[in-house]
Structure 1
Amino acid sequence: MKKLLVILFATLLAGPLQAAPLLVAAASDLAYCIDELAAAFRKEVPEAEVKVSTGASGNFFAQIRHGAPFHVLLSADMTYPTQLAKLGAADAATLRPYAIGRIVLWTLDPRFDVAQGLSVLRDPRVARVAIGNPDTAPYGRAARAALERDKLWDAVQPRLVIGENIAQAAQFVQTGNAQLGIVSLATVRSPKMAGVGRYHLISDAGLAPIEQGAIVTRAGSGQPLAARFVRFLGSPAARAILERNGFGLPPAND
């Protein structure tokens, strides 16, 4: 017993225990800036260890709903985090918009003039068009909505190459598995992709805004850094990173 007390006392003298990692599930459109966001957060909270997974928001929704131990969800829409809150799998009080997404038509193929907008997809030489999965990826839903608005969905649907998420849709264009893709502005504006191919910003007239939402999950309620990270996304430092990477910003509300 005496030996155990000595060990415990020595542990206390050695300093606080290493904090558990903050587990963040981030939408794929954040792939090119999430590490920069995490680094900026660590400047404010030096003891923080942030572990990030990127993927389709709908897939993360299903995983968190069924008990996946992510502490924070950064969704590419507000619907999935709102639904998690209604299901009791996340804290509604922590829900906040952190970015506004935009979609672009993007190509590496010099034969196609994307300045024509979506109408270029009527070109019979266009054999494959990449989008994210409309069932699970908010940017895929936005792509479908834009095609339906412009009366192109039926004509383009047989030629679609569906990515699990927006990052995979962009990869299809990069690798030549699709001649054009409807991807996020954040993808083509990221430092890694800047200057690669040509893109045209798709008008958002008549389309619902791609408002992206962050929320602390039920698992994150016991991780003090979770709510702090969500609040950090509204900070000037985080907003500057997001804006530099092609995102629009919701009104500041800290």
Structure 2
Amino acid sequence: MNVCARSQVLSLITALTGCFALGSVQADEVQVAVAANFTAPIQAIARDFEKDTGHTLIAAYGATGQFYTQIKNGAPFEMFLAADESTPKTLEKEGEIVPGSRFTYAVGTLALWSAKEGYVDDHGKVLTENTFNHLAIANPKAAPYGLAATQVLAGMGLTDSVKGKIVEGQNITQAYQFVSTGNAELGFVALSQIYKDGKVSSGSTWIVPAALHDPIRQEAVILKKGKNNPAAKALADYLKSPKATAIIKSYGYQL
């Protein structure tokens, strides 16, 4: 084999080696704990993330408080998309995250929703009329949207009058299911569960003014287990990208 041919072969081998190495980087997976309210947006984001980066996002959905307990007990999550800011801050203080990785990825909106058309008015007067039998909320001890719901009821002076009518879901997904199946006439849900492309998809809704509860500032962190995983860093960066933020906004979140 002459020098020229040998050089061409070596170049080809080098190029193929580089392709294989690139492929191995792109094949990384990231295990993500995702607050239940963010289920639909992250599923939409995951499709673009995987297509654009080659990484795979494996998500589990649930209540923020429950995920905190699981993380403290050694769950294999590498990234956490919480429904609040206090839980990620706590994990940061406890040394459970990659330093400097905490950021706000969305600001949530609370909504009072009924699957029935015309049942909930634009100002939430249905709550004060108190003619319903069941009001669904998420567990306020584990789910920030549930906590926000209790703050709204307290601010309206309705805590005692509706106490016996509340049905509590483990997370915001279960609260939504109570209403969507008719087991509760109405309930406090995340706007993202009923909102897409600038409108509420069904039923009737009162979008709760943000002034009636503490801000639902949702923060993300890279957990210690994701420190050396390129896919975790890639996802954190991707959530801040124009493509991802456009999806987040389309579900009724603020940024």
- Please indicate the TM-score interval, normalised by the length of the shorter structure: 0.7 to 0.9
Distance 1:128 1:225 in 2: 43
Q: 3-state SS of the aligned residue for 1:33?
A: helix
Query: What is the aligned counterpart of 1:221 among 215, 227, 236?
Result: 227
CA gap of 1:111–1:99, structure 2 versus 1, over 3 A, is closer
Is the 8 Å Cα contact of residues 82 and 92 (structure 1) preserved in structure 2? no
Percent of aligned positions with the same letter in both sequences?
35
Tell me how far apart the structure 1 counterparts of residues 136 and 81 of structure 2 sit (CA, whole Å).
Answer: 23
Residue identity in the other structure for 1:65: K
104-113 vs 34-43, greater mean Cα deviation: 104-113
Q: How does 1:58-97 map to 2 (within 5 A)?
A: 58-97=65-104
Q: Which residue of 2 aligns with 1:135?
A: 141
Alpha-carbon offset, residue 109 of structure 1: 3.0
- Of 179-188 and 206-215, more deviation after overlay is shown by 206-215
Deviation string 1:73-118 (CA, Å, 9 cap, x unpaired) is 000111111111111111241000010101111012357342241x
Q: Distance in 1 between matches of 2:162 and 2:190?
A: 19
Check the 8 A contact 2:83/2:144 in 1, yes or no: yes
CA deviations over 1:138-165 (Å, ceiling 9, x no partner):
1001111111111111211211111111
* Pair 1:69–1:148, CA change in 2 (3 A): same
- State the Cα distance separating 1:123 from its structure 2 match: 3.0
Aligned residue number for residue 187 of structure 1: 193
Identify the residue that residue 11 of structure 2 maps to in structure 1.
none
Residue 44 of structure 1: CA displacement? 2.5
Summarize deviations over 1:162-184 as a string: whole Å, max 9, x none. 11111110110011111001111
Go from structure 1 to structure 2 and tell me whether the alpha carbon gap of 1:78 and 1:23 turns closer, same or farther (over 3 Å shift).
same
Who is 2:9 aligned against? none
- Deviations along 1:194-237, one digit per CA (max 9) or x if unpaired, are 43211111112252211000000011112121122112111111
Runs of 4+ in 1 over 6 A off after TM superposition: none
Measured in 2, the distance between the counterparts of 1:156 and 1:248 equals 30
For structure 1, the residue ranges without an aligned partner over 5 or more in a row are 1-11, 250-254
Question: Which aligned pairs between 1:17-166 and structure 2 lie closer than 5 A?
Answer: 17=24, 19-46=27-54, 48-110=55-117, 112-117=119-124, 119-166=125-172
Measured after TM superposition, the shift of residue 49 of structure 1 is: 1.2
C-alpha distance in 2, partners of 1:219/1:138? 25
The 2-side partners of 1:92 and 1:62 are apart by 20
**TM-score, reference length from structure 2:** 0.86
Alignment-derived partner of residue 252 in structure 1: none
TM-score of the superposed pair, with normalisation by structure 1 = 0.87
Please name the residue that 1:198 is paired with. Answer: 204
- Per-residue CA deviations over 1:231-251 (Å, capped at 9, x if unaligned) read 2111111100000111111xx
Change (3 A) 1:165 1:190: farther
Contact 1:185 1:246 in 2 (8 A): yes
C-alpha separation in 1, matches of 2:130 and 2:20 = 67
Verify the 8 A CA contact 2:113 2:120 in the aligned structure 1: no
Q: How many residues align?
A: 236
Contact preservation (8 Å) 2:81, 2:220: yes
